Chain A
Amino acid sequence: LFEEKMAAGQGVRPLSLAGHVGFDSLPDQLVNKSICQGFCFNILCIGETGIGKSTLMDTLFNTNFENLESSHFEPQVKLHAQTYDLQESNVRLRLTVVNTVGFGDQMNKQESYQPVVDYIDRQFESYLQEELKIKRSLHNYHDSRVHACLYFISPSGHSLKSLDLVTMKKLDSKVNIIPVIAKADTISKSELHKFKIKIMSELVSNGVQIYQFPLDDETVAKVNTTMNGHLPFAVVGSTEEVSVGNKMVKARQYPWGVVQVENESHCDFVKLREMLICVNMEDLREQTHTRHYELYRRCKLEEMGFKDTDPECKPVSLQQTYEAKRQEFLVELQKREDEMRQMFVQRVKEKESELKEAERDLQGRFEQLKRLHADEKAALEEKKRLLDEDQSSFGKRRAAAQLLQAQSLTANGKKDKDRKK
């Protein structure tokens, strides 16, 4: 694969080595670096409440993740993510487990898939933003993109529910889906076989692309091919241990027998663990990055108007597109600024006319009051004039009366004189 690619390229010729050079230690150098850095793995578990998601995670990773039971009365589907640091010998794993809460509980499940899709997209978006930053630190970035999605199918024994099909169809281009049949100890072997066939055929006929274990590496091709044939894995989870023979094994104890989790004839748990962790963890991460994330990125950038080639099929540099977009953006900003300015001017005008109106009003009132005042003044003056007139006529009358009195007095005195003689 490598050689064809290289030789087909630029006239590269193969060379033979005369001795040991030492670059075969590169995988070890890489591994040592990764041990220092640690690994990161994110699993999303989708399934109805009570189907056994948390128990399966506990069983898979041999720990107690301390998840509380959720209620069945969630109004909407929510996602609950928790991150753990695990270590096995010298390998450090930062594991994030995302569980759906309330999936399948609502009366109307039409929007059930949406929060899941949104969560996955948010993680892609977050990575894309980091990647497009000018000053970025991708090698320090905590990768939260979902690497594997375990879809828990109810062990009805019949077929997939329509909710299952709808959800998986929405997710198959965004995440690696690994369907599992939960609580598989409720199905008998023969029913299980028929159930698996029914599920796979339904997935195929509905065009749902689930994750196929990779076949290109010869060391694992054989085991992966076999495993691909066992999908979906029928799992049983348990963290309780029961004594079987002379060992303590993880199992579920029933009156009629003990279902051993790690017994391959009882359930496919060991196969799931093999495939998910031991054989294909790296491939799951790679597919997430090179296929699902690239698809998201491409769609997102195209949506924003970026292209690689313009309509005449000439290559367009990102810079040109960016400049064009920037111009658009600036023009838009300018337009909005103008609009705002116009609005401002408008409001000022309105306010001005309002104020003018008020001023006129006041002026009118003032004039009115002035008139009233003048009127009253005139009235008062009239009264005063009348009063003066009255006074002067009264004065005249009094003067006349006094004169009359004085005259009458002198007349009486003369009379008295006359009598004396």
Chain B
Amino acid sequence: IRLFRNTQTCFSRTSCTDLFGYVGIEAVLDQMRRKTMKVGLEFNIMVVGQSGLGKSTLVNTLFKSKVSRKSCTPNCEEKISKTVKLHSVSHVIEEKGMKMKLTVIDTPGFGDQINNENCWEPIVKHINEQYEKYLREELHINRKRRIPDSRVHCCIYFLPATGHRLRPIDVEFMKRVGKIVSIVPVIAKADTLTIEERQEFKERIRQDLAANGIRVYPQKEYDDDPEERILNDRIRESIPFAVVGTDKEHQVNGNKVLGRKTKWGIIEVENVAHCEFANLRDLLIRSHLQDLKDVTHNIHYETYRVRRLNESNMNFSELGLSARPLENGTADTSESESHL
């Protein structure tokens, strides 16, 4: 998303001037880099899907560490919970000086019951609770320097590799949740599909998404410039990504690769000819990480905020933000003196 303001007519004079000689404005880029490294980054990712689709494994593969405790070991007899519970775990990881606080929100029990009506409710509630928390902090008089960000930046939705179409639960969930958070659908355990089956499946899913008006990330409406549109169009043509996850390494052609070993061959997770894991990783982490956070902050959070403020009838301009609102009798808005 390009968030550049267009020419507003509130300047006394704007002119494009060329610089004769070195000034040093360029150095601000380094300043920004340093600041980002110092501050670190918070990223919150939610994984949604039925049990056994490989959610925990995928997260571990994405972040190359034991982020999630896999639910199939050690307690295979763990009862499937009666309701959808959300389970949030935070880790701090560091790479080349860049620190990230990663929070993974797992949703055990989703889609596992016999009656799955309203299974999205706990999830919607959780997402809105995070927005509410942020809003409250933002509205405080004494605010923290950096408001802790627990808002869900990305929700990965796991589709089982049936090869057919979207199921009702998929449609319902993505329709509702896609309005409040950025959804990235993936085809889980995609090593059960051949390449042709995979392409057809993806095409049908895309049709279903369009037919139901479901908007997944990256949303078309938020592309600002043609460059971004071209880039995102390419991504949109290949979603949902067909992924395979693993944390085991094997030897292939003398190299150690992440892969799943089967009797008929080794599925190399990071090989784009085998599956689209690398595309997903690049999208989420290497190219669109900041964009995911920006969309959450500038669009989803703002939508929530507008709704909330309208609900509570909190219209500050009604009260007038002048220094002397009531005693003088005239509640004028902006132009009055504002001294402390």
Chain A residues packing against B (C-beta within 8 Å): 1-3, 6-7, 10-31, 33-39, 60-65, 80-89, 91, 93, 96, 117-118, 121-122, 124-126, 128-129, 132-136, 138-142, 216-217, 219-220, 273-274, 277-283, 286, 290, 294, 296-304, 306-308, 317-319, 322, 325-326, 328-329, 332, 336
**With A84-B17, A121-B340, A280-B31 in contact, do A91 and B95 touch (Cβ < 8 Å)?**
no
Name A303's contact: one of B23, B286, B323 (CB within 8 Å): B323
| A233 CA to B315 CA, complexed, in Å | 47
A-B interface, 4 closest residue pairs, ranked by CB to CB distance from nearest:
A282-B31, A278-B24, A83-B11, A278-B27
In whole angstroms, how far apart are the Cα atoms of A352 and B179 in the complex? Answer: 64
A62 touches B143 (CB 8 A): no
CB B314 to nearest CB in A, in angstroms, measures 5
CB <8 Å contact, A135 and B334: no
Smallest CB-CB separation from B41: which chain A residue? A26
Q: Is B289 part of the binding interface, using a Cβ–Cβ cutoff of 8 Å?
A: yes
Determine whether the beta carbon of B92 is less than 8 Å from that of A283.
no
Partner of A22, one of B17, B20, B281: B281
CB–CB A121/B339 < 8 A: yes
> Can you report 20 A-B residue pairs in the complex whose CB atoms are below 8 A from each other?
A2-B92, A12-B101, A14-B93, A15-B93, A17-B94, A18-B65, A21-B64, A21-B281, A24-B95, A27-B36, A28-B33, A30-B33, A31-B29, A39-B25, A63-B18, A84-B15, A139-B3, A140-B3, A216-B38, A294-B143
- List A contacts of B287 (CB < 8 A): 25, 29
Report the separation of the CA atoms of residues A325 and B313 in the bound assembly, to the nearest whole angstrom.
12
CA–CA, A86 and B36, complex, Å: 24
User: B32–A27 contact, CB under 8 A?
Assistant: yes
Mask: chain B, 15-45; 1 = CB below 8 Å from A; 0 = not: 1111111111111110111111111110100
Question: Told that A2-B99, A23-B95 touch, could you supply 10 new A-B pairs with CB distance under 8 A?
Answer: A1-B38, A20-B95, A21-B95, A23-B93, A62-B21, A63-B19, A118-B337, A140-B4, A141-B5, A301-B141
Q: How far is the CA of A406 from the CA of B22 in the complex (A)?
A: 151
Q: Which residues of B contact A28 (CB under 8 A)?
A: 33
Closest Cβ neighbor of B324 among chain A residues: A303
Contacts of A82 in B (CB 8 A): 11-13
1/0 contact string of B305-340 vs chain A (CB within 8 Å): 110011011111111010101100101001001111
- With A17-B93, A21-B93, A60-B23 as known contacts, state yes or no: A85 contacts B16, CB within 8 Å: yes
A85–B34 touching, CB < 8 Å: no
How many Å lie between the Cα of A138 and that of B43 in the bound state? 22
The answer to whether A81 and B12 touch across the interface, beta carbons within 8 angstroms, is yes
Q: How far is the CA of A219 from the CA of B30 in the complex (A)?
A: 11
Expressed in whole angstroms, the minimum distance between the Cβ of A275 and any Cβ of chain B is 10
In angstroms, how far is the closest chain B Cβ from the Cβ of A168? 17
Whole-angstrom distance from the CB of A121 to the nearest CB of chain B? Answer: 5
Interface pair A10/B225, CB less than 8 Å apart: no
CB B39 to nearest CB in A, in angstroms, measures: 7
Q: Once the chains bind, are A88 and B64 in contact (CB under 8 Å)?
A: no
Closest to A322 in B: B314
Question: From B101, which residue of chain A is reached at the shortest CB distance?
Answer: A6
* CB neighbours of B319 from chain A (8 A): 304, 322, 325-326, 329
Other-chain residue from B34, B139, B323, B326 in contact with A219 (beta carbon distance below 8 A): B34
Residues of chain A within 8 A (CB-CB) of B96 are 24
Q: How far is the CB of B28 from chain A (nearest CB, A)?
A: 5
CA distance A136 to B303 in the complex (A): 10
CB of A142 within 8 A of CB of B326, answer no
Question: How far does the Cβ of A115 sit from chain B's closest Cβ, in whole Å?
Answer: 11
A257 to B194, CA, bound (A): 82
Query: Given the complex, which residues of B lie within 8 Å of A60, measured CB to CB?
Result: 23
| Chain A residues with CB under 8 A of B310 | 134
**Count, chain B residues at interface, CB 8 A:** 100
The answer, yes or no, to whether B263 is at the interface (CB within 8 Å) is: no
- Is the beta-carbon distance between A273 and B24 smaller than 8 angstroms? yes
The interface bits of chain B over 220-245 (1 if a CB of A lies within 8 angstroms of the residue's CB, else 0) are: 00000100000000000000000000
**Inter-chain contact B340/A296, CB cutoff 8 Å:** yes
User: What string of 1s and 0s marks CB contacts (under 8 Å) between B243-280 and chain A?
Assistant: 00001000000000000000000000000000000000
Expressed in whole angstroms, the Cα–Cα distance for A126 and B306 within the complex equals 19
In the assembled complex, which residues on chain B have CB atoms less than 8 Å from the CB atom of A18?
A: 64-65, 247
Known: A31-B33, A125-B334. A13 touches B5 (CB 8 A): no
Which A-chain residue is minimally distant from B312 (CB atoms)?
Answer: A319
CB distance from A84 to the nearest CB of B (A): 6
When distances are taken between beta carbons in the complex, the residues of chain B under 8 Å from A132 are: 316-317, 321
Question: Which chain A residue shows the least CB distance to B316?
Answer: A132
Give CA–CA (A299, B25) in the complex, Å: 34
Q: Does B67 contact A (CB under 8 A)?
A: yes
Question: Are A14 and B19 interface neighbours, CB within 8 A?
Answer: no
Contact (Cβ within 8 A) B64 A26? no
> For residue A303, which residues in chain B have a CB less than 8 angstroms away from its CB?
323, 340
Is B97 interfacial (CB 8 A cutoff)?
yes
B176 proximal to A (CB < 8 A): no
Inter-subunit contact A26/B290 (CB<8 Å): yes
CA distance A360 to B40 in the complex (A): 89
CB atoms of A27 and B90 under 8 A apart: no
In the complex the two chains form, is A7's CB within 8 Å of B28's CB? no
The verdict on B62 contacting chain A, using a C-beta distance below 8 Å, is yes
Looking at the assembled complex, report how far the CB atom of A41 sits from the nearest CB atom of chain B, in whole angstroms: 8
Residues of B within 8 A of A122 (CB): 338
Q: How far is the CA of A115 from the CA of B100 in the complex (A)?
A: 45
A308 proximity list for chain B (CB < 8 A): 140-142
Q: Would you call B136 an interface residue if the criterion is a C-beta within 8 Å of the partner chain's C-beta atoms?
A: yes
Contact B16 A23 (CB under 8 A): no
Closest chain A CB from B305 CB (angstroms): 8
- Our pick among B25, B34, B247, B302 for the contact of A136 (Cβ within 8 Å) is B302
In the bound complex, what is the Cα–Cα distance between A126 and B338 (angstroms)? Answer: 10
Closest to A2 in B: B40
A2→B102 CA distance, assembly (Å): 13
Chain B residues, Cβ within 8 Å of A15 = 63, 65-67, 91-93
Chain B residue nearest in CB terms to A140: B5
By a CB distance below 8 angstroms, the chain B residues around A118 are: 337-339
B75 part of interface (Cβ distance < 8 Å) = no
Is B298's beta carbon under 8 Å from chain A?
yes
* Chain B positions 58 through 101: 1 when the CB is less than 8 Å from some CB of chain A, otherwise 0: 00001111110000000000000000000000111111111111
Given A122-B338, A306-B141, A307-B141, does the pair A85, B15 have CB atoms closer than 8 Å?
yes
Quick check: is B211 within 8 A (CB to CB) of the other chain?
A: no
Q: Is B291 an interface residue (CB 8 A)?
A: yes
Q: What separation, in Å, do the CA atoms of A101 and B265 have in the docked complex? A: 79
Q: Is B285 an interface residue when CB atoms closer than 8 A count as contact? A: yes
Give the distance in Å from the alpha carbon of A413 to the alpha carbon of B315 in the complex.
Answer: 131
Which B residues are in CB contact (< 8 Å) with A134? 305-306, 309-310, 314-315
Please name the residue on chain A nearest to B321 by beta carbon.
Answer: A129
